[in-house]
Amino acid sequence: MKAIKCWEKAIQIEPEKQKVWSLLGTAYYYTSQLNRAIICYQKALKNNPRNASILGNLGLIFLQMSNPQKALYFLREALQLSPKNTQILSAIALTHFSCKSISRAISYFQQILEIDPENVTALCNVGICYLEEGNLENAETCFQKALALKPDNSKALNNLSLVYCRKKEYQKALKILQKAATIDPDDVIIQQNIRKLEQKNSPGLRLFYLKFFLGVIIYKKEKVLSFPDGFFLSKSLLILPRIIIFH
């Protein structure tokens, strides 16, 4: 709140200064005052309509406000100005994912991997998209590549276990989840999944129907995607950058 008061005073002194409007917009964003953030960013754009960061920030805000059409408009404008900005590419991919345009989401995540082949988050996000499509082989490949780069990534392990659950390889899935639990013992989802799989492998519960979920975190808000069959996973790596830092 102190930062907001400072920037509000600064904007009264220099109302035409783009950077101050942008910084005030970012301050409003971080305090969830999204409508005020939009006004500030739009004022900043009046002096510099070709600022990719501000356009990207507006796109992220509209995505958070569940307005994918406006989000895509601003994000595409930003991408034209900064075509290799992986944050913008990620935001566009996640917007398409939220609209169930999975193939388009995959194409944008793959563009990130062309720029940064070792981007673990992008690899996991592509894997999640393939899971949504039911393409288990490609999903497994993506998660394995991510884990080769970062073996201690508990969420990638958690999501890889979903692949084996969908393949009905429950023992293999359980082993992977147990490894994930040693890395992140406080992850509630991992612990829930372990209990579910232990029940699944119990002789008295062979016919027990387990429904599994893949959790998608966007801007601290959790959305849950249910799969038609399979198992109960996980807090995924589908995470938007909170803000594209103004520069």
Q: What is the DSSP string of 96-165?
A: HHHTT-HHHHHHHHHHHHHH-TT-HHHHHHHHHHHHHHT-HHHHHHHHHHHHHH-TT-HHHHHHHHHHHH
**Sequence letter at residue 77:** E
Please identify every stretch of the chain with a pLDDT value under 70, giving residue numbers as ranges: 1-3, 5, 7-16, 201-247
Mean pLDDT for all residues in the chain = 80
CATH class of 50-226: mainly alpha
- Give alpha helix (H) positions in the chain: 2-13, 18-30, 34-47, 52-64, 68-81, 86-98, 102-115, 120-133, 136-149, 154-166, 170-183, 188-200
Q: Which pLDDT score, from 0 to 100, does residue 10 have?
A: 66
Q: Quote the pLDDT of residue 78.
A: 95
> Half-sphere exposure of residue 195, counting CA atoms within 13 Å on the CB side?
6
pLDDT reported for residue 117:
97
Per-residue pLDDT at 242: 46
Please give the pLDDT value at position 107.
98
Q: What is the pTM of this model?
A: 0.79
Residue 202's pLDDT is: 58
pLDDT at 129: 93
**pLDDT of 26-43, one tens digit each?**
888 888 899 999 998 999
